[in-house]
Structure 1
């Protein structure tokens, strides 16, 4: 929590002294329309990820075992943890620094730079420095493209809220099914699945990694046509 507070203070200082702007240019203040953006992003991404889990279940013949009891307090703890985590990352990669870069070098270059940094960051956060070049390139490609879509979302909505909903929805839904730290397999445990080989493995993992972001990008472009969802200026709420 202290780290998040420091990031907010630094974000305020960057915007105040470099761009002469208030921190609200990040769309971080939870006005009703922005909360609606967040909710739309959260629900959309959780539904999309659930579809991906279902697709993986059929493609790989995954057998799931549901836990005998569901710990709702653990679900709540996971939600709060991933909300803080997603907000922290979004403020770093799609917050004040991205806003300043957009003003100074243009949106296209700024979004690409943000995406690259987000991809490289995950190489370190996943502890992959000792891995081979192919897994590292894969992580940079997949997480970098995800970062691109979320940075693009920030630019188009003038708020971090929709992207934050996407971010939280993805991370939170995955804790229901997969092993993740510090929360994982909260509801289901994977018992067995079919292993893919060679190009089938490559095609499946590229599709699994890139398809959600491709669909999300299309979704954001459709939302651009809806002024009710996209506008986030406080005077318009």
Structure 2
């Protein structure tokens, strides 16, 4: 938590120095619209990936079941870790620096810069150097996610939606389903180590597209719908 407080202090200094703003520029104060965005941002990845992973397990004849050894302590420790981790990353990539970049470069260029930085960051955090294939895949997948998080900040003028989207995705992959073992056991695990069967080529390609690109596209559609309903473009209309 001390690190996050330091980040907030640095964010305040940057906003004051470059834009004569304070932390309110990050949309930290709760409003009805921001709380709604937060809840939707949590639900979207959980629902989307639950449906997708359930479909994949059905096609592979490898259903998920509740992990009998998973404890409530492991759940809350995992959630607390993710909360701190996501807050730390979002303050870097969808915080004061992104706000300043949007003001100076426009939304699209700023979001691309944030996406590139987010992708490269994961090379270091996941220690992928000397693994070129993993580096390329990670740069693409996390870069796309980083672009969407940045766009969510720009469109809503707040950190609420990018934070909840980011947390929701990490929650699905690190706690809910047995996809990422970095936090230990998951709540839901597959019946078999490997899928007994594999879907056909066409279905596999479709599922891969839904796995890597489906959720970013869904999020962008939500942002477009939200913009149309609210009748505004966030804090940065001149950048659109």
TM class, shorter-length: 0.7 to 0.9
- Give a deviation string over 1:72-113, Cα, whole Å, max 9, x none: 232222222212211111110010000001111111111111
Q: What's the offset of the Cα at 1:197?
A: 10
Matches within 5 A, 1:74-153: 74-132=74-132, 134-153=133-152
Matches within 5 A, 1:57-72: 57-68=57-68, 70-72=70-72
Gaps of 5+ in 2: 236-240
Change (3 A) 1:198 1:46: closer
Q: Distance in 2 between matches of 1:20 and 1:190?
A: 56
Q: What's the offset of the Cα at 1:147?
A: 0.8
Change (3 A) 1:66 1:116: same
Q: Distance in 2 between matches of 1:39 and 1:207?
A: 23
SS in 1 for 2:64: strand
Matched residues, number: 231
Q: What's the offset of the Cα at 1:143?
A: 1.0
Q: Distance in 1 between matches of 2:53 and 2:34?
A: 29
Q: Distance in 2 between matches of 1:184 and 1:226?
A: 41
Match of 1:50 in 2: 50
Q: What's the offset of the Cα at 1:61?
A: 2.9
Provide TM-score, normalisation by structure 1. 0.86
SS in 1 for 2:115: helix
Provide TM-score, normalisation by structure 2. 0.85
Which one of 216, 220, 235 corresponds to residue 219 of structure 2? 216
Q: 2:54 touches 2:63 (CA, 8 Å); kept in 1?
A: no
Q: 1:176 touches 1:184 (CA, 8 Å); kept in 2?
A: no
Root-mean-square deviation (CA, aligned residues, Å) is 2.7
Change (3 A) 1:156 1:73: same
Q: 2:28 touches 2:158 (CA, 8 Å); kept in 1?
A: yes
Change (3 A) 1:164 1:222: same
Q: What's the offset of the Cα at 1:18?
A: 1.3
Q: 1:33 touches 1:229 (CA, 8 Å); kept in 2?
A: no
Change (3 A) 1:143 1:190: farther
